Amino acid sequence: MDELDSEIVRLLQTDARQSNRELARQLGIAPSTCLERVRALHRRGVIRGYHADIDPAALNRGVQALVSVQVRPLSRTVIDSFKAFAGKLPEVLHVFVLSGGDDFLLHVAVQDLDRLHAFLTDQLSKRSEVTGFRTSVIFQQVSNTAPTRLPPADQTPAATRLG
């Protein structure tokens, strides 16, 4: 990635809905050049897509929780199977595969505590590979103003680099 690509990424992370013409104007380049650069970033997998940030409570899914899950036996087959299963559940917003004491972290959103309990007992506890889980209900959530804003690796401030 060169400086222009990095600036395109930065501007799109700030406002992904801006037009190509506006993006090109901010960069001081021709719209055709800008469009080709954005398309190349897509092809290379730098830009994976665009999405709307939806409030789960507005969709009657006001109770959110983080569920730590342990599975056994630990094998690629079991991990891949559980990951696929969890990722298809409508209650699950995110599936994280972890190292350490827990194997998965599920971010779930449901209508109420009864639905959360039903999800845990009817979905998770019935899976033979699940040996345990812990649930933490989310009371409040504070999001970074740009949760996916990432500088290119070579532009990470020196103070934040691990050494």
pLDDT digits (tens, 9 = 90+) for 131-141: 999 999 999 98
Query: At residue 144, does pLDDT exceed 80?
Result: no
The one-letter amino acid code at 142 reads: V
The DSSP bridge pattern shows strands 92-97 and 104-110 to be antiparallel
Half-sphere exposure for 6 (CA within 13 Å, toward CB): 10
Q: Where are the alpha helices (DSSP H) in 56-119?
A: 76-88, 113-118
Model confidence over 11-47: pLDDT tens digits? 998 899 999 999 999 999 999 999 999 999 999 999 9
Model confidence over 107-129: pLDDT tens digits? 999 999 999 999 999 999 999 99
Yes or no: say if 82 and 104 are a contact pair by the CB < 8 Å rule: yes
Task: Say which residues have a Cβ less than 8 Å from residue 81's Cβ, sequence separation at least 6.
Answer: 129
pLDDT cut 70: percent of the chain above it: 88
Distance CA 160, CA 163 (A): 9
Yes or no: say if 34 and 45 are a contact pair by the CB < 8 Å rule: no
Query: At residue 72, does pLDDT exceed 50?
Result: yes
Task: Say which residues have a Cβ less than 8 Å from residue 3's Cβ, sequence separation at least 6.
Answer: none
pTM: 0.76
Task: Walk me through the domains of the chain, giving residue ranges and CATH numbers.
Answer: 3-51 (1.10.10.10), 56-138 (3.30.70.920)
Distance CA 152, CA 82 (A): 32
What average pLDDT does the structure give for the chain? 90
Query: At residue 3, does pLDDT exceed 70?
Result: yes
